[in-house]
A = this chain, B = another copy of it.
Amino acid sequence: MHPIDPGTDLTETCIEGVSVYRGNLLHVRRDRVRLPDGTESTREYIVHPGAVAMVALLDDGRVVMERQYRYPLGGDLLELPAGKIDPGEEPLVTAKRELLEETGYVASSWALLTTMEPLAAYSSERIHIYLARGLERRVRQLDDGEFLEVFAEPLSALLEGVRSGRITDAKTQIGLFWAEKVLAGDWTGRPA
């Protein structure tokens, strides 16, 4: 039992650390840390450069979506377009690049909805979720080895998909909930 008073400093400080795995996609670190009570523990986590996801809203009210096979889960997921930030890249630049590459759309209006952490326990990843409007069709430029189906559905149908369990991806649920708030005029995104 560690009863914690409100406002207590819970910071864990690094004593020493090492990269335990560096693959094509994943970089795993293991650090020895000092806990708030002075004892030691170990933290293992993915080092990640961050990512973006885009709620791209067509003029007819439909949202651009992707169907993609997700190997770790063994099945297809319906997801917002998304991608990893390149070293030194501004997240908004990533968002514009990935939206064009994956879906073939450019957008004239961008707003940041939220920046969220998908898995705080073992990843340093942060995902910036944008609302993109004023879409125009260009040519899609998928990376080699990237297979995904692009489709579009009204926001209301996608929210019904969240309710029914058809849409389970975390960044997608969050982006759709946020888009509903913003389009209802209850919340506003930040100009990006």
Contacts and interface: CB of A to CB of B under 8 A. Distances in A.
10 contacts: A4-B148, A10-B149, A12-B69, A12-B71, A24-B42, A35-B145, A36-B147, A47-B72, A77-B117, A114-B173
Nearest to A11: B69
Task: Tell which of A39, A146, A149, A170 has the most Cβ of chain B within 10 Å.
Answer: A170
A101 B61 CA distance: 45
A145 B40 CA distance: 9
A74 B77 CA distance: 30
Contacts of A2: 142, 146-148
Interface string A36-53: 110101111111000000
A40 to B, nearest CB: 9
Interface of A: 1-8, 10-12, 20-21, 23-26, 28, 30-31, 33, 35-37, 39, 41-47, 67-74, 76-77, 79, 114-127, 140-142, 145-151, 162-163, 165, 168-171, 173-174, 177, 181, 187
Copies of this protein, total? 2
A20 B125 CA distance: 21
Given A20-B21, A114-B173, A149 B72 contact: no
A169 B26 contact: no
Task: Tell which of A3, A35, A121, A123 has the most Cβ of chain B within 10 Å.
Answer: A121
